[in-house]
Amino acid sequence: MDLVEVSQQFERFKAAFVRKDYDICSNLLSQLKVSLTKFRSLPPLFKNTPNANNELLLAREIYEHAVVLSVKIEDQDAFERDFFQLKPYYTDAGYCRVRIDEYRRCTFYKALDSLMMDNNLYSNRLPPSPQEYPILGLNLLRLLVQNRIAEFHTELELLSATALEDRCIKHAVELEQSFMEGAYNRVLSARQTAPHETYVYFMDLLAKTVRQAHFDYIHIYNFVTFRDEIAGCSEKAYDYLSINDTRQMLLFSSDQELLEYIKDEHPEWEVKNGSVYFQKAKESAPCKEIPSLQLINQTLSYARELERIV
């Protein structure tokens, strides 16, 4: 299958994508991927064929659509596969635009430059894609949702300074920082400020994931949800709040959701006259005795250990 036929097949894919006929899209995508294997200009070969640039651009756009399709059909495994097939088009096929002037100051890279120029390898390098940063940010968000924090930071280290300033990348970075800081409100409300419509799927998953995260510095023995932590703080800070204020603080979309939450999770709260009263919760909360002797012994033990170290 030549370039024209693959392009026509891709147009049928895009038409089905616009119609949201994702079953047809999935079938056409499988055919497109098989067709792309005939192009020797694509990674990892990068052969300098007559249509190399057009083939690279077409393949990159196909894989970008594949990544977005995987989000639409909510298939994280497909997302990972398609992203790693796409990634060489952002790195290997586009690397000459990343700090190439710095490379050319080095004697080794001058020799490498010469070798690549002799073999006409620079002709296959691609211009930037407008979808690159949104998709890279989407991948960071996926890693955050899957709690693969080490991989998140590895991917982050590979990004250029320009990429780090992009709003899609910054969105994922700020979310990770909020996640680590325990800034519950920012994490749960970040869906409203998603920089791209494809981010909504992972944002919804993130809201569920972080509610189950284990925070040793909040509760050393329990998994807590962000909403429950906010609720616990609210009942200690206020005697009562209006239903509207309580709903907004706990990030519910309707009063009915709030009332069901109170009924299931906090039956000690009183709802009357358009307000939620926390007084009963305060009265029923037992006063915990501070283990003074234990704290003194631990403090003295720490002091002895520090003295040994010093």
Q: What's the rounded mean pLDDT across residues 271-292?
A: 71
Residue pLDDT, tens place only, 173-191: 999 998 888 776 787 788 8
Angle between helices 52-72 and 76-90 (to 10 degrees): 160
231 and 215 both lie in a single domain: no
92 and 40 both lie in a single domain: yes
Contact criterion met (CB below 8 Å) for 243 and 255: yes
31 and 104 both lie in a single domain: yes
Quick check: 122 pLDDT over 60? Answer: no
Give the distance from CA 155 to its chain's centroid: 11
Quick check: 120 pLDDT over 50? Answer: no
Residue pLDDT, tens place only, 196-221: 889 999 988 887 766 555 444 344 33
Instruction: Give residue for tokens 């409100």.
Output: 185
When divided into structural domains, the chain yields a total of 3
Indicate the residue among 102, 121, 140 that finishes a domain. Answer: 121
8 and 109 both lie in a single domain: yes
5 and 114 both lie in a single domain: yes
In degrees and rounded to multiples of 5, residue 182 shows phi and psi of 75, 30
The two tokens of residue 278 are 């926390």
94 and 155 both lie in a single domain: no
Read off the pTM: 0.62
Indicate the residue among 98, 121, 144 that finishes a domain. Answer: 121
Contact criterion met (CB below 8 Å) for 184 and 230: yes
In degrees and rounded to multiples of 5, residue 47 shows phi and psi of -70, 145
What is the average pLDDT score of the chain? 81
Contact criterion met (CB below 8 Å) for 56 and 42: yes
75 and 155 both lie in a single domain: no
Range of 251's domain? 225-310
DSSP β-bridge partners for residue 271: 276
DSSP-derived 3-state class of residue 275:
strand
Q: What is the 3-state secondary structure (H, E, C) of 178-212?
A: HHHHCCHHHHHHHHHHCCCCCHHHHHHHHHHHHHC
The identity of residue 208, as a single letter, is K
235 and 276 both lie in a single domain: yes
54 and 106 both lie in a single domain: yes
Quick check: 305 pLDDT over 80? Answer: no
Which long-range contacts (C-beta less than 8 Å, at least 24 apart) are formed by 283-289? none
Indicate the residue among 57, 88, 121 that finishes a domain. Answer: 121
The pLDDT-based confidence of 284 (bands split at 50, 70, 90) is low
CATH number of the CATH domain containing 184 = 1.25.40.990
User: If you compute the radius of gyration of the chain from its CA atoms, what whole number of angstroms results?
Assistant: 27
136 vs 127: CA distance, rounded Å: 16
192 vs 203: CA distance, rounded Å: 9
